[in-house]
Each structure stands twice: as structure tokens, then as C-alpha cells.
Amino acid sequence: MKTKLILTNLFLLILLGFNLKTSGQPLSKNDITTIINGKVWAPKASISSGEQLFLEKLNLKGSILFKGIQFDNLEFSYDISTEEIITPVEMFDKTKKIIIVNPCFLEGFRILDSSNEYEFLRGDLLHPELSTREYYQFVQFNALKYIIKRKKIKNLKSDPSVKSQYLNSNSLFIIKDDELLTINSKSDILKIFSHQKKEVKRFIRNKKLKISPRNPMDATVLLSHFDL
């Protein structure tokens, strides 16, 4: 049983595919203890398909905002189900370890995927009503800010040999005039653009947009066109 557990953990580490020669780990030249206090990541002995990860990808590229300092050219993964950023770092003895970036000081991160850019901040840095322990994707427009709280909930299986599946449970918001507005459907968007209701309805219909937590990026197409 112990051998099986070790093999499972080893398999998951290989599956993560981290390049442990990465030189861009978030270590500050002025304060080398900034990130070491993040706990070492240990794979869980469960079978997963990676659905809990943002974009379902293991080796994301981007930057991390840690204690007000931005670290660029990093490789990491974002586990949405646990709100953890996992990255390889270089220790004092030049060895590499995979750690969970300390959430006490992790303020946000930016992900670059092909031509797309995704920006996340800790909730309280976006609005006082948002969680201080969770990260929110946001898109800044001229007069408002669009917020996506991405959540993935594990669907428990009675058979441990079956891959765990994760269900999306996103929440959408718009910050307008410092007010946090919840967006659940097209009708919530129409309230914001009440003076352009007909035009907005037509645009949604023509572009076949689905304004809902299941399709969080559709709203960005609309807001880009009808920014206040």
C-alpha cells in the first residue's frame, strides 16, 4: 500500500511537468526569505484530470505580485479548487522545491496564454465586499470593472479509481461607481445599460452572447463595445 502511494505521488509530480531548471522563481534579491516561507507542496493521493486548474493547464506563464513586488517570467499553476498558486523555487542550497506560494503575501498574478492575458487580484484589493482569501479575475474598462470569481467544486466519486470531476460554480460582478453589482443573467446587464437597452439586446442577439456564470467571458465582448 505504501509503495502504491509513493508511486502515485511520483506519477503526479511527473504529470505536473514543472521544469525544475526554471530560473524565474519568485525570489527577491533584497529579501531571500520572501517566498521561502510558503509551504512545500505535496501531491494528494487521488486521481485527477487537472480540471481543477485554471485553463486546465499545469505550466502557466506569467507574473506574480507578492508583498507589493512583481516577479516576472514565472512558471506556475493555479488550483482554483484550493485557491493555491504552485511554483518551483530555488532554495539556499541551490536545490529546487515545489511550493505553495504563501497566501498571506500573495496579492495577485497575471497569466499569459498565447495572445490572451488574464489578470487576478485578491478580493479586498478590488472591493471591500469581496473575500480577502480568494482571487478574482478582473477586466478594467473606462467606467467600470468586470469581475469573475472562478470556482470549481469537486464532484465526489464513490469509486476511487474513477477520475475526480470538477463542476464550475462561477460568480460574476461589475464594480460601477464603487458599488458591487452581481451579474447572473442578461437582465442584470440591461439594468446597467438601461439607457441603451435596445442596442444592448440587439448586440447580444447578433453576437449570440450568453451572459451567465457558465460563460463568463461573453460579457467582456459586450462591455468592450458598450463601455460607459
pLDDT (0 to 100) of residue 48: 55
pLDDT tens-digit readout, 45-97: 444 567 888 998 888 999 999 888 888 888 899 999 899 998 877 767 777 77
For residue 186, what are the CA distances in angstroms to 90, 141, 173, 191? 48, 19, 13, 9
Cα–Cα distance for residue pair 34/188, rounded to 1 Å: 42
Q: At what angle are helices 197-207 and 218-225 packed, to 10 degrees?
A: 130
pLDDT (0 to 100) of residue 183: 96
Give CA 201 to chain center in angstroms.
Answer: 30
Cα–Cα distance for residue pair 112/219, rounded to 1 Å: 20
Cα–Cα distance for residue pair 9/137, rounded to 1 Å: 31
Q: What is the dihedral of CA 189, 190, 191, 195, to 10 degrees?
A: 130
pLDDT tens-digit readout, 11-48: 344 344 444 443 344 444 434 345 545 666 655 544 45
pLDDT tens-digit readout, 170-226: 999 999 999 999 999 999 999 999 899 999 999 999 999 999 999 999 999 999 998
Mean of pLDDT values over 128-157? 93
pLDDT (0 to 100) of residue 97: 78
